[in-house]
Amino acid sequence: MTREATAEFEAHRPRLFSLAYRMLGSASTAEDLVQDTYLRWSAADRSTVRTPAAWLTKVMTNLCINQLTSARARRELYMGPWLPEPVRTDTAAGRLGPLETAEQRESVSFALLTLMERLTAAERAVFVLREAFGHSHRDIARIIGVGEAHSRQLHRRARERLDHPRRHFDVDDAQRRKIVERFFAATLEGDVAGLERLLADDVVAWADGGGRATAARRPVAGRAKVLRYLLGLGSRPEAASVGFEPAEVNGVPAALVLVDRTLLAVVVPEIHEGRVVALRTVINPDKLAFAAGQLT
């Protein structure tokens, strides 16, 4: 492959990764599909490609659709709650594209990516291409090989299935960081009163161990139960050697749980009206590999 063709692909690599991650919720698989797209680009007759960006987007989208279709059965057998792979967005290695607006951060939030598991592969493709990348339905129809009217129908159905209240960015970044910092400080100190003030009445905690790490198999719901859950974690003997490091994950304040610079978990609180309404913790070591690589 020529140097020019390689440079052309590299210019699109960040956008392709960003697209694949939003489609799959998996950074490691997104990287694999970026490499697959590169191999197809290197083997293609590029003299027939009038718009490289459109060609690469179509290849990547259809690779993701195939991946989602084959992964659905595996997801049904997944042990415990499924959460996306966390990606740090506060480092030079940030890979999810611009996250300057509430809408951009929403598109990679744990809340939305988890809800998108409800969608079919085609619905998810249309939703991501339209909502996160602003493609017209005419372009989306060409990318996934359907009629324009069908693309509109898939988009409408996806929005109805998600029924997603866009409430996760109702406070500014500085206020959200302060709330998250107070939450983790109260958790480390075992501050019951502080946690009670910070947890919403209907707070829900999910932990994704995937059968590879010890984690609650079902969501823990309600302030009293989540409080006991957090205090129980803090009372374990190994908790004394654990440290929390603030980080931005998927566009929001979060914490890395570390022992001697080894990443054990990523904890992502969801804030609404000044309180923690959801707590999502990724413990599955397979899902931590990408974020662990971002530490170095």
pLDDT at 175: 87
pLDDT of residue 100 exceeding 60, the answer is: yes
CB distance 258 to 249 below 8 Å: no
Amino acid identity, position 45? D
Question: Does some domain include residue 168?
Answer: no
Question: Does some domain include residue 114?
Answer: yes
CB distance 63 to 33 below 8 Å: yes
The residue from 162, 185, 211 where one domain ends is 162
pLDDT of residue 33 exceeding 80, the answer is: yes
The residue from 111, 130, 162 where one domain ends is 162
The Cα–Cα gap between 56 and 6 comes to 13
Range of the domain at 197: 173-293
Query: What 3-state class would DSSP assign to 264?
Result: strand
Q: pLDDT grade, residue 239 (50/70/90)? A: low
Question: Does some domain include residue 25?
Answer: yes
Question: Does some domain include residue 207?
Answer: yes
- Summarised one tens digit per residue, pLDDT across range 177-228 is 899 999 999 988 889 999 999 999 999 999 999 888 878 889 999 999 999 9
- CATH number for the domain spanning 238: value is 3.10.450.50
CA atoms within 13 A on the CB side of 15: 17
The residue from 162, 190, 217 where one domain ends is 162
The CA-based diameter of the chain, rounded to the nearest angstrom, is: 67
Q: pLDDT grade, residue 155 (50/70/90)? A: very high
pLDDT of residue 57 exceeding 80, the answer is: yes
Element (DSSP H or E) covering residue 271: strand 262-272
pLDDT at 169: 53
pLDDT of residue 238 exceeding 70, the answer is: no
Query: What 3-state class would DSSP assign to 220?
Result: strand
Question: Does some domain include residue 125?
Answer: yes
Q: What is the mean pLDDT of residues 228-238?
A: 76
Name residues whose C-beta falls within 8 Å of residue 115's C-beta, 6 or more positions apart in sequence. 162, 164
The model's pTM is 0.92
pLDDT at 240: 67
Residues 125, 185, single domain; the answer is: no
DSSP string, 10-62: HHHHHHHHHHHHHHHS-HHHHHHHHHHHHHHHHHS-GGG-S-HHHHHHHHHHH
Residues 156, 179, single domain; the answer is: no
The Cα–Cα gap between 99 and 105 comes to 5
pLDDT at 95: 79
Q: What is the mean pLDDT of the chain?
A: 90
Residues 145, 213, single domain; the answer is: no
pLDDT of residue 263 exceeding 80, the answer is: yes
pLDDT of residue 166 exceeding 60, the answer is: no
Residues 9, 152, single domain; the answer is: yes
pLDDT at 13: 96
- How many separate domains does the chain show? 2
Residues 144, 224, single domain; the answer is: no
Q: pLDDT grade, residue 78 (50/70/90)? A: confident
Among residues 159, 144, 125, the alpha carbon closest in space to that of 19 is found at 125
Question: Does some domain include residue 241?
Answer: yes
Alpha helices in the chain (DSSP H): 3-24, 27-43, 52-76, 102-106, 110-115, 121-127, 137-144, 148-162, 173-189, 192-198, 223-234, 285-293
Question: Does some domain include residue 68?
Answer: yes
Residues 191, 240, single domain; the answer is: yes
Element (DSSP H or E) covering residue 203: strand 199-208
φ and ψ at 161, to 5 degrees? Answer: -70, -35
Q: Quick one: tokens of 107?
A: 């598109």
The Cα–Cα gap between 267 and 32 comes to 25
Radius of gyration of the chain (CA): 20
pLDDT at 23: 96
pLDDT of residue 92 exceeding 80, the answer is: no
Place of tokens 């197809």: 40
pLDDT of residue 46 exceeding 90, the answer is: no
Residues 82, 177, single domain; the answer is: no
Q: pLDDT grade, residue 236 (50/70/90)? A: low
Residues 40, 140, single domain; the answer is: yes
Q: pLDDT grade, residue 77 (50/70/90)? A: confident
Q: pLDDT grade, residue 93 (50/70/90)? A: low
Q: What is the mean pLDDT of residues 58-86?
A: 88
Residues 87, 203, single domain; the answer is: no
Question: Does some domain include residue 235?
Answer: yes
Residues 98, 201, single domain; the answer is: no
Residues 60, 181, single domain; the answer is: no
Residues 150, 188, single domain; the answer is: no
